[in-house]
Structure 1
Amino acid sequence: MIMTKHEFLISANLQEQTLEFWLEQRWLIPDEASSEVLFSECDIARVELIQDLQQNFGVNDAGVELILHLVDQLHGVRQALSLLQETTHFK
């Protein structure tokens, strides 16, 4: 599901000021292919992760940034392994 910024703020139960900070930090990177900034359900999941880290685990901003970086690296490795598996499977 694709959401506008307004829809995303409501769905994520997020304040606009918080969203703007997270966008500046590049913790969230919405789709800007059109003239409008659009968010997805993956962005909602990322908000939930950030909120969990901050509220339930007491992780500070530097820690959130590091954890998100590691999660993104892990996701990239999983995609690369999947692609590798697909290409070697067809040979």
Structure 2
Amino acid sequence: MRMDKQTFLKTSGLQVKVLELWIEQEWLVPEETPTGLHFQEIDVARVRLIRELQSRIGANDAGIDVILHLMDQLHGMRRAMEELRRDMAKKG
């Protein structure tokens, strides 16, 4: 589900300043359109993850940067592997 900024703020429970900071830090990367920023459900899940990293694990900003970067790399590799698997299945 695609959400505008106001809906995302309500759904995620973030404050505007925190959202702006997290976008600046590239912890969240919303889609930019002529009508404004748009978010997905995955962005809400990412907010929950960041909050958990902060509160339960006690990760600082630098730690969260590293964790999110590694997770993004892992997801990218999984997508690439799935594409490779599909391509191999087509050729097989």
Q: Residue deviations 1:46-70, cap 9 Å, x none? A: 1011001001110000000000000
Give the match for residue 3 of structure 2.
3
Q: Between Structure 1 and Structure 2, how many residues are aligned?
A: 91
Q: What is the match of residue 16 of structure 2?
A: 16
Percent of matched pairs sharing the same residue: 48
In structure 1, list runs of 5 or more residues that go unmatched. Answer: none
The structure in which a higher percent of residues are strand is: 2
Where does structure 2 lack aligned partners over 5 or more consecutive residues?
none
The residue that corresponds to 1:48 in the other structure is: 48
How much has 1:36 moved relative to structure 2?
1.1
Q: Which runs of 4+ in 1 moved over 2 A?
A: none
Question: Which one-letter code corresponds to 2:59 in the other structure?
Answer: V
Q: Which residue does 2:84 correspond to in 1?
A: 84
Q: TM-score, normalising length from structure 1?
A: 0.97
| 1:26 and 2:31 correspond | no
Measure, in 2, the Cα distance between the counterparts of 1:27 and 1:43. Answer: 9
